[in-house]
Amino acid sequence: MTATDDLDLLARLADLQEHLHAGLLAVDEQTQVPGCPGWSVGDLGEHVAGVHAWAEALVRGAEDIRPPQRTTSVPEHYARQAARLHRTLSALAPQTPVRTMSGTGPSAFWRRRQTHEALVHLHDLHRAAGTVMPDPGHELWADAVDEVITVMHPRQLRLQRTAAPEVSLRLEATDADAAWQLVGEDPAPAATLRGSARDLALLLWRRLDLDAAGVDVTGDPQLARRELSAALTP
C-alpha cells in the first residue's frame, strides 16, 4: 500500500492537467495514439475531458452526469473540464461523502482516480508525440499500481468485465518500499515481477507488455503474461 494522503493529489492533478493541456496544444489532433488503438490525439483529449466532467457531476450529485458536448477546440474543451473538476474537488474536504464508482465514498476517491486518469493518458499522449513525459515521481506511479490492485481490478470483477485470475502474481516496486499481490485461485504466487513502479503500473494498464517492460520475472513468465493480458482495468 502507498500513503495516498502524503501525495497532495490536488496539486498532482493540477500539474498533470496542465501538462495534458500543453500536449494537446502541441500535438496534431490526427496523430494516432499507440496505447489506445483506434484513437487519435483529439479522441484522447475528448475522452479525458469527458471523464473529468463525468466525475465532477458525480461529485456534485448532479442528476445528469453525461459529459457536455464539445463546442470549442479539443484543448480548450479539455482545459474547461479540467478546471471545473479541480475547482469542485478543491472546495470539498477529502472525507466529504460523494458519489463514487461504487456507491458513496470520500471525495478523496476522485482526487486519486482523476489523478491517475490524467497520469496514464499523459503517458499515452507523450508516446503518441514521441516525446519524454515529465517524471511525476515513483510515489505516484506506485499509487497507480495500488489503485489497480485495490480499486480498478476489483471493480472489473464486480462488473463481470473479466474473469477472476487463476493464479496469483506478486509485484514488487524496486524504487519504492511497496509490494502487491494480484490474488488468484491459488494464493501462492506463480510469478513475482520486480521493476520500477512506473513499469508495473503501465503493465497493469496494458501500456507495456512483459517483454517490453524492464521487469525481472521469477517463476512462470507465461502465466504472468496470461494474467496481465486480462482486463484488469477498463
Whether the CB-CB separation of 148 and 138 falls below 8 Å is answered with: no
Residue where the block lists cell 484513437? 39
pLDDT along the chain (234 residues), means of 10: 68 98 98 97 98 98 96 98 98 97 96 98 98 96 98 97 96 96 95 97 96 92 96 96
CATH number for the domain formed by residue range(s) 4-136: 1.20.120.450
Domain residue extents for the chain: 4-136, 140-228
CA–CA separation, 175 and 197 (whole Å):
7
Name the CATH architecture for the domain at 140-228. Answer: 2-Layer Sandwich (3.30)
User: What type of residue sits at position 24?
Assistant: L
**How many other CB atoms sit within 10 Å of the CB of residue 139?**
19
pLDDT on residue 2: 43
Q: Which of 104, 79, 110, 69 is nearest to 92 (CA)?
A: 110
* β-bridge partners, 172: 179, 194
